[in-house]
């Protein structure tokens, strides 16, 4: 009955080799978010989609891109991963429409760059 599913759970990629992480949801939520969490640090928002509208955080590197082909799926593309991009990547969803909306998280994808 998982509601936000991230695949894969663990991803190893080579330095500079493009990699895609995926997220799907069964909640039919309007908003999908991607957070990056490095070791012992707070989760940090990279970008989010409100329906089809893409919203990039000002300090998100250009190396990170996202796609949302439909309501259920959202992808995080890292064009040229560096060693500093090794982290846990969390996908989350919410109904949107207010600051008090609960966010629902996936279990995360742990990315290793070798």
Partner 1 sequence: AQRVTQPEKLLSVFKGAPVELKCNYSYSGSPELFWYVQYSRQRLQLLLRHISRESIKGFTADLNKGETSFHLKKPFAQEEDSAMYYCALTGSSNTGKLIFGQGTTLQVKP
Q: How far is CA 68 from CA 12, 39, 100, in A?
A: 23, 27, 24
Q: Are 34 and 103 in contact (CB under 8 A)?
A: no
* 23 scored as a contact of partner 1 (CB under 8 A): no
- SS (HEC) of 66-82: EECCCCCEEEEEECCCC
* 112 scored as a contact of partner 1 (CB under 8 A): no
Q: Which of residues 55-94 bind partner 1 (CB under 8 A)?
A: 55, 90, 92, 94
Indicate the residue among 45 and 86 with the shorter CB distance to partner 1. Answer: 45
* 45 scored as a contact of partner 1 (CB under 8 A): yes
CB of 41 to partner 1, least distance (A): 6
């Amino acid at each position: 009955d998982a509601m936000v599913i991230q695949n894969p759970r663990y991803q190893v990629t080579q330095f500079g080799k493009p990699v895609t992480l995926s997220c799907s949801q069964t909640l039919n939520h309007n908003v999908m978010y991607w957070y990056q969490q490095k070791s012992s640090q707070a989760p940090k928002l990279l970008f989010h989609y409100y329906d089809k509208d893409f919203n990039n955080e000002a300090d998100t590197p250009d190396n990170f891109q996202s796609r949302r082909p439909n309501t259920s799926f959202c992808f995080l593309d890292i064009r040229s991963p560096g060693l500093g991009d090794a982290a846990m990547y969390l996908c989350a969803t919410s109904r949107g429409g207010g600051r008090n909306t609960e966010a629902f998280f996936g279990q995360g994808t742990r990315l290793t760059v070798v």
